[in-house]
Amino acid sequence: MIKKKPPFKRMSPPQTLALGFVLIILIGTILLMLPISTISGVSTPFIDAFFTATSATCVTGLVIMDTGTHFSMFGQMVMITLVQIGGLGFMTMATMIALVMRKRISLRERLILQESMKQNSMDGIVRLIRKVLFYALFIELTGAILLTIRWSFDMPFAKAIYFGFFHSISMFNNAGFDLFGSIHAPFNSLAGYAHDPAVNLIVMLLIVLGGIGFIVIADLLEFPKNKKFTLHTKVVLSASGALIAISTITIFIFEYSNPLTFEPLTFAQKSLGSLFQAISPRSGGVSTMDVADMRQATQFFIVILMFIGASPGSAGGGIKITTFVILLGAVIAMIRGKETIVFFRRSLSKDRVNKAITMTLLALMLIIFVSMVLSTTEDHQFLEILFEVTSAFGTTGMSMGLTQDLTTFGKIMISIMMFLGRLGPLTLAYALTSKPEKELIKYPEDKIIIG
């Protein structure tokens, strides 16, 4: 008699990832509902705790209650722990524990790690995880020290250390949670440091490093030895740099004469503000300006940036910068009459193009559908709703003020969008479908008219 495997071991890697995130969110919800998690000692309602736990685990940053004024230190530590687990991936954290305890990483666990890190093969996956953990902890520690030094001039040293570590982890994991509601004003993000070059530069660097992905960071650090970059790293770095530059100039132009944002500022302050708002929407989620005060053109442009998102294998969301670049490459190739997409003298296979198109269409349809549904349940302008939905899907965390006014149904829908954005529509689709079967019949090709 053949012994059946337990249900958990019969699950595919995408199913395991989806279930793992759900369990972490539920545990986080229970902990945030405890009276000890709030400053007032009053238990947080289930739906609000669930929304916050989802936002933290999916490293989004959308909040119903201000983190600094509603949650106690215990609640804040629960949230930042969820951010760390969600940002690095629960399987990465589990692997770290296994490595510390010197346990063997099974083939199944390697498959799940491969799925979570968006790798094409299992070769060297455990070695990559070791590097991921080392780089992440080193960058977070460095960021925490730098922020602690800066904020020690504004607050007691012990508080500066706590703020430094909390915000370094939050920014590197592209979560966007902040505690400055307890110092400045609730839901004020980093507006109190809008003109502070040190805070701006440290936070922007943490967001960029967290958004380009661990694979790229590993490639950068190994460049002195290898003397070359992979195609993935070349595309991510060049595309990210170009997008940041274009976004900075666009926001600078749109907001230059806006009396509510840039008009009162000096040229240097406008430039710094434009750069920060160009980097943060890619999944960072913090802002030094009130997004609601920006012009509609800027707000819609930020929606586009949130939709594009960060890099694969990072803590960021969106369709990913590589997907966007492949789509652009396909358009350019089609216009030039070419059959293949070429980047840096390397051609891409058709399955990469098909996957990019599928990912983009799924994301677009999802955002459009949820935005249409919420436009009937939430008493807000459509652009505000579209902004909120895209922010949730891109796990960005920016808001035009809708989050605090969401109905219960709205909170559930935005929570689902955050979950889908972190996991990825394709991963969820694979989790919900059975194993693909080989095509036994190949039908003759034909053509339909396009355009």
- Tell me what the mean pLDDT of segment 185-200 comes to: 87
- pLDDT tens-digit map of 281-339: 987 888 888 899 999 999 999 999 999 998 887 778 889 999 999 999 999 988 888 88
Is residue 449 assigned to a domain? no
User: Distance between CA atoms of 108 and 246, rounded to whole angstroms?
Assistant: 43
Is residue 121 assigned to a domain? yes
Least confident of 98-107, 162-171, 220-229, 413-422: 98-107
**Nearest Cα residue to 132 out of 318, 319, 309, 315:** 315
- pLDDT tens-digit map of 47-83: 999 999 999 998 888 999 999 999 999 999 999 999 9
More confident residue, 120 or 306: 306
Least confident of 91-105, 288-302, 336-350: 91-105
Is residue 445 assigned to a domain? no
Range of the domain at 300: 11-427
* Helices 231-255 and 267-279, packing angle to 10 deg: 130
Is residue 105 assigned to a domain? yes
For residue 170, what are its two tokens? 């939050």
Beta-carbon count within 10 A of 23 CB: 12
Is residue 6 assigned to a domain? no
* The pLDDT value given to residue 438: 62
More confident residue, 130 or 259: 259
Q: Given a cut of 50, is residue 1 above it in pLDDT? A: no
User: Distance between CA atoms of 270 and 273, rounded to whole angstroms?
Assistant: 5
Is residue 368 assigned to a domain? yes
More confident residue, 135 or 274: 274
Q: What are phi and psi of 190, to 5 degrees?
A: -100, 25
User: Distance between CA atoms of 43 and 326, rounded to whole angstroms?
Assistant: 47
Query: Facing residues of 71 across strands?
Result: 38
Q: How many secondary structure helices (H) and strands (E) does the chain include?
A: 19, 2
Beta-carbon count within 10 A of 96 CB: 16
Is residue 39 assigned to a domain? yes
Q: Given a cut of 90, is residue 146 above it in pLDDT? A: yes
Q: Given a cut of 90, is residue 10 above it in pLDDT? A: no
Confidence of residue 121 (pLDDT cuts 50, 70, 90): low
- Whole-number mean pLDDT of the chain? 85
More confident residue, 53 or 397: 53
Q: Would the pTM count as exceeding 0.85? A: yes
* The pLDDT value given to residue 120: 55
Beta-carbon count within 10 A of 152 CB: 16
8 A C-beta contact, residue 245 and residue 122: no
* The pLDDT value given to residue 2: 47
Q: Given a cut of 80, is residue 373 above it in pLDDT? A: yes
- Structurally, how many domains does the chain consist of? 1
- Tell me what the mean pLDDT of segment 32-47 comes to: 94
